Chain A
């Protein structure tokens, strides 16, 4: 198994599924049924394949593992290079884990252009996995931008009534960032002569160059996270996207920005990262409080969860820039946890949206009487989102606050207000939707969750509790890479300080 190009297999296996779907012929019903089945089978096979990464991954080393290398553009320093470390491997698994769930989520809800829908999802999976595996900046950039295309199509074709506006907003924001990142990519290439990531990690960029490179990348990553104030595309994109689109958007796409910070900004540009830390703290703390307050007054379920995502990602960015073991690990853990929990919450919304075709909170109420199983599942994910100990949400939040308190107590205190506000908006949402009297005629006829929906939720429930009660396997995978990241960061800072001290001496 070890000599197999495992990462390439996981990355491109979904495209094989696409090829099969494209070959399906027959009448409409056959095409629909077969494309669903092929998509589910392919995504499950991909997930099983990716489990080899989980079992084969060596903890205790920060080296890239499962490395593959092939010539791509000979003589240019740009090549096809794949590999994962403790920072990226879990996101590969998160992507492959959520894709089958998403295919199930679109099983009956999508009735038009089913074939194309399934193709879009499988292409999206390839792009996501490839992005987390890429060890060449050029390759990374292609996957990073490539993700946007299927996502854009998902929103634009299968979205809600204002899908065009949402898609354009999504596109406008991400485009602005992407262009600047391309500039940064080229600048780094001309400085270092290669786009090989392991090489770039050890290339010392001059301090004044770092500042500009950092800002250019920041423009791209901050939009993806999204950080305040470039977050306004997210609520619209979520609201208009089909359920499964929201799940992937919240589950994986929001992690791309934070992953970018961890893979590029922090290790390659340590000096600039240290200089801009106050900016990150300020924007993140504002995000936590601002978007939590906005979430409190939302009338649309998806918008509320979208705003809560911005608040949770605020925790992540704070954690990354604390540059402490707890903070960075907490950020990584929070990203994984949020991927699962926010994804699950969007599925919860999707379940009742499929029945009543509205996301307006006021149209519901008293669901617990008709849908006790649904109420229980929703309760669990709501509590995970609130950060109740015993669920995955707590571990990340605790670690981020522990990390933040070591470097900046005020930021830690501001972030901790998210605990209060988060509880307020989530419980308020739950109360209006699930509790109360069952007095609306159409709500009275709603069915509890079906077997298919249970199959979709069950793995998520297991993972949320597992990560909350016994997070050790996840933390062990991250540990060595996080330690290495921090050690290199501190060495680079020390070198830079010594250099500037030497300059001052002269």
Chain B
């Protein structure tokens, strides 16, 4: 059954990818969506049986790489963590498949699109079912490939191609860390299998080894190397620059890959490796600080963006930050809980935005929207539900997961925890603000689009609305239903040891925090909504005035803290300049000049000199012969004497 969950999407991808032209549009939709729905159904069953029944198991398929003591097999390891991911990934993916049938209608490359979506799902499922680091890396790179293909799906747009390459290369920077992490783990543990590594982790605590020319603590080094990989995939500050650009892909892609699933792979990886991270306080602290900083940083940028998808993209970046600082304070269950609820409401927000873009004849700039809520009532309701959940207002699912995270940060009783808590609370204020700014700018106020577009504004077809409504159910109820199992009283029975806890359980502490910690997030969210209402509904002149009053800050935020510009100057241009220099000056100017070209030049000169001696005058030759004879005789005599 597990194998079916993972390989059904691959089957769909192969059928639609290779035979798309023969089976046509409808055929491609069927061969990808139906297996995906089956896979989603099966994984719900697996979550039920693993989480609330038998517990973990592993299915070994066959050998992959076996050299010396190094072994990596193809295997499907299913514990509660995997089952939760299987359920989330396959459910969202199935809904996105169905939605895409409507959204991609009329695109000539639709079979290719469906094939890529299914291929992505296969890689993602391989990633979460891995029982060793190498298979995880297989899935990891595979989702990177699918992401690259889908971002660049409209491959005659230069911006889409640039974004695709950027996504792949920036992720590769993270993979550099991941790869060295795998090598380091093999060096330290003599294995890449999770079970073996986790069993040996306690002995490794406090040990050091010699790497990169210095003596370093084993677990901290390894965890940080792996975390570099997680930062790349999950778009944490520093390696986040690819995610906003990834919005060049079609909107269903943004919903599935760049919000609900792939970008959470880093969170999953750290949770999976929790038995290692638990023994390294330093590594956990780094994770928490990076996560908390990202949460706030991305929220500040999200407040001034005008592209509807970019706002949501920065929101994703920010929410991933929440998950990471939850991991960093040791509240793994809370992080995964937020991962699941976020997958539902963020996918919904993106698909809702897609519905808006669809209605507005492919317009994405919120400055050219407004006043359309009466025409797209279902979409409008969907966006409200999503925003309420994202802002973490009671009853909605985001409330349960996000509050647990903030409480766990407070409950950690550490400097890092405090930092995370206050950054998270500030980000919560901004989250509510930019969410309602989006709502008001998009749906309310005076219509700012041209008449032709406005005349076309229409609600999306049922094939797009039904997945949205299913997601809405998740966005409202997932928190309520999952709370007890993921982070509540039932958590030990649910996780069955899939997430390590060494020492105090921060989630336990989260249940015993002062009331203000519980109330603060709701308070700031309400405040954020109020401010957005004031600025974008009542006094619409204020935002422009604010921007004028602090032009430096505004430009700084609008330009996303200048990360792209700095990287361009620091890495991209120097790499090309250096390459050109090494080629022209190194290869041509030095190696060739003094190597083969120099030798041939010398030979030619020497030959010309020699040729000059062939003058045709007998006395020249006679002279040369006499000299030669003299040299020969003296050498002979000298040698003869020497031997004697």
Footprint of B on A, CB under 8 Å? Answer: 168-169, 172-173, 229-230, 232-233, 235, 290, 293-298, 324-326, 329-330, 366, 368-369, 383, 388-390, 394-395, 398-399, 401-402, 404-406, 409-410, 412-413, 416-417, 419-421, 423-424, 427-428, 431, 434-438, 469-472, 475, 479, 483
Residue on B nearest A469 in the bound complex, by CB: B64
CB pair B66 A472 closer than 8 Å: yes
A173 with B212, Cβ < 8 A, contacts A413-B180, A436-B156 known: no
Interface residues of B in 125-182 (CB under 8 A from A): 134, 137-138, 140-142, 145, 148, 152, 155-156, 158, 161, 164-165, 168-169, 172-173, 175-176, 179-180, 182
CB pair A435 B156 closer than 8 Å: yes
Residues of A within 8 A of B599 (CB): 172
Residue on B nearest A235 in the bound complex, by CB: B587
A431 with B138, Cβ < 8 A, contacts A395-B65, A416-B179, A420-B176 known: no
14 CB-based A-B contacts, threshold 8 Å: A296-B579, A297-B583, A326-B68, A329-B67, A366-B156, A388-B145, A389-B138, A410-B212, A424-B575, A427-B164, A431-B152, A472-B63, A472-B65, A479-B67
Residue on A nearest B212 in the bound complex, by CB: A409
Residues of A within 8 A of B184 (CB): 405, 409
Q: Taking the nearest CB of chain B, how far is it from the CB of A146, in angstroms?
A: 22
Contact of A232 among B137, B210, B591 (CB under 8 A): B591
A416 with B578, Cβ < 8 A, contacts A229-B591, A406-B187, A424-B169 known: no
- Complexed CA–CA distance, A404 and B183 (Å): 9
CB pair B134 A475 closer than 8 Å: no
Residues of B within 8 A of A383 (CB): 145
CB pair B211 A409 closer than 8 Å: yes
Residues of A within 8 A of B180 (CB): 401, 405, 409, 412-413, 416
Residue among B68, B134, B142 with max Cβ neighbours from chain A (10 Å): B68
- Complexed CA–CA distance, A168 and B592 (Å): 13
CB pair A296 B575 closer than 8 Å: yes
Residues of A within 8 A of B586 (CB): 290, 294
Q: Does B563 contact A (CB under 8 A)?
A: no
Contact of B596 among A232, A298, A401 (CB under 8 A): A232
Residues of B within 8 A of A402 (CB): 70, 182-183, 186
Q: Does B540 contact A (CB under 8 A)?
A: no
Residues of B within 8 A of A297 (CB): 576, 579-580, 583
CB pair A295 B579 closer than 8 Å: yes
- Complexed CA–CA distance, A330 and B403 (Å): 49
Q: How many residues of B contact A (CB 8 A)?
A: 56
Residue on A nearest B171 in the bound complex, by CB: A423
Residues of A within 8 A of B22 (CB): none
Residues of A within 8 A of B161 (CB): 431, 435-436
- Complexed CA–CA distance, A416 and B596 (Å): 31
Q: Does B595 contact A (CB under 8 A)?
A: yes
Residue on B nearest A296 in the bound complex, by CB: B579
CB pair A470 B62 closer than 8 Å: yes
CB pair A405 B580 closer than 8 Å: no
Residue on A nearest B18 in the bound complex, by CB: A376
- Complexed CA–CA distance, A12 and B207 (Å): 59
CB pair B175 A293 closer than 8 Å: no
A475 with B582, Cβ < 8 A, contacts A173-B596, A233-B596, A297-B576 known: no
Q: Does B60 contact A (CB under 8 A)?
A: no
- Complexed CA–CA distance, A173 and B596 (Å): 7
CB pair A389 B67 closer than 8 Å: no
A168 with B600, Cβ < 8 A, contacts A405-B183, A417-B176, A420-B172 known: yes
Residue on A nearest B603 in the bound complex, by CB: A172
Residues of B within 8 A of A434 (CB): 155
CB pair A368 B155 closer than 8 Å: yes
Residues of B within 8 A of A420 (CB): 169, 172-173, 176
Residues of A within 8 A of B69 (CB): 325
CB pair A398 B579 closer than 8 Å: no
- Complexed CA–CA distance, A297 and B62 (Å): 42
- Complexed CA–CA distance, A172 and B599 (Å): 9
Contact of B142 among A232, A366, A389, A479 (CB under 8 A): A389
- Complexed CA–CA distance, A435 and B172 (Å): 21
Residue on B nearest A399 in the bound complex, by CB: B67
Q: Does B642 contact A (CB under 8 A)?
A: no
- Complexed CA–CA distance, A54 and B592 (Å): 42
- Complexed CA–CA distance, A233 and B137 (Å): 36
Residues of B within 8 A of A324 (CB): 68
Contact with A along B44-75 (1 / 0, CB 8 A): 00000000000000000011111111100000
Q: Taking the nearest CB of chain A, how far is it from the CB of B634, in angstroms?
A: 28
Residue on B nearest A307 in the bound complex, by CB: B583
CB pair A325 B67 closer than 8 Å: yes
- Complexed CA–CA distance, A406 and B580 (Å): 34
Contact of A419 among B148, B155, B176 (CB under 8 A): B176
CB pair B212 A437 closer than 8 Å: no
Q: Taking the nearest CB of chain B, how far is it from the CB of A56, in angstroms?
A: 23
Given contacts A229-B591, A424-B169, 19 further A-B contacts (CB under 8 A): A172-B596, A229-B595, A232-B596, A290-B582, A294-B586, A325-B67, A329-B68, A330-B67, A389-B142, A394-B141, A398-B134, A399-B67, A402-B183, A405-B180, A405-B184, A423-B169, A431-B164, A436-B156, A479-B67
Residues of B within 8 A of A230 (CB): 591, 595
A410 with B213, Cβ < 8 A, contacts A419-B172, A435-B155, A472-B66 known: yes
Contact of B578 among A293, A398, A409, A483 (CB under 8 A): A293
CB pair A389 B152 closer than 8 Å: no
- Complexed CA–CA distance, A409 and B209 (Å): 11
A389 with B211, Cβ < 8 A, contacts A406-B187, A413-B180 known: no
Contact of B165 among A172, A401, A428 (CB under 8 A): A428
- Complexed CA–CA distance, A402 and B188 (Å): 11
CB pair A398 B142 closer than 8 Å: no
CB pair B67 A475 closer than 8 Å: yes
- Complexed CA–CA distance, A410 and B214 (Å): 11
Contact with A along B491-534 (1 / 0, CB 8 A): 00000000000000000000000000000000000000000000
Sorted nearest first, the 3 A-B pairs with minimum C-beta distance are: A325-B68, A405-B183, A293-B579
A398 with B179, Cβ < 8 A, contacts A436-B156, A471-B65 known: yes
Residue on A nearest B155 in the bound complex, by CB: A435
CB pair B67 A326 closer than 8 Å: yes
Residues of A within 8 A of B175 (CB): 419
CB pair B587 A232 closer than 8 Å: yes
- Complexed CA–CA distance, A437 and B186 (Å): 46
Contact of B592 among A232, A366, A398, A428 (CB under 8 A): A232
Residues of A within 8 A of B186 (CB): 402, 405
- Complexed CA–CA distance, A402 and B583 (Å): 30
Q: Taking the nearest CB of chain B, how far is it from the CB of A479, in angstroms?
A: 7
A169 with B596, Cβ < 8 A, contacts A293-B575, A326-B68, A431-B161 known: yes
Q: Taking the nearest CB of chain A, how far is it from the CB of B22, in angstroms?
A: 14
Residues of B within 8 A of A428 (CB): 165
Q: Taking the nearest CB of chain B, how far is it from the CB of A222, in angstroms?
A: 13
Residue among A169, A368, A369, A404 with max Cβ neighbours from chain B (10 Å): A169
Residue on A nearest B148 in the bound complex, by CB: A427
Residues of B within 8 A of A326 (CB): 67-68, 70
- Complexed CA–CA distance, A472 and B64 (Å): 6
Residue on A nearest B134 in the bound complex, by CB: A398
Q: Taking the nearest CB of chain B, how far is it from the CB of A363, in angstroms?
A: 17
- Complexed CA–CA distance, A394 and B72 (Å): 13
Residues of A within 8 A of B210 (CB): 409
CB pair B67 A427 closer than 8 Å: no
Interface residues of B in 375-403 (CB under 8 A from A): none
Q: Taking the nearest CB of chain A, how far is it from the CB of B145, in angstroms?
A: 6
- Complexed CA–CA distance, A169 and B599 (Å): 10
Interface residues of B in 183-197 (CB under 8 A from A): 183-184, 186-187
Contact with A along B391-421 (1 / 0, CB 8 A): 0000000000000000000000000000000
- Complexed CA–CA distance, A335 and B42 (Å): 42
- Complexed CA–CA distance, A158 and B26 (Å): 50
Q: Taking the nearest CB of chain A, how far is it from the CB of B491, in angstroms?
A: 34
Q: Taking the nearest CB of chain B, how far is it from the CB of A129, in angstroms?
A: 27
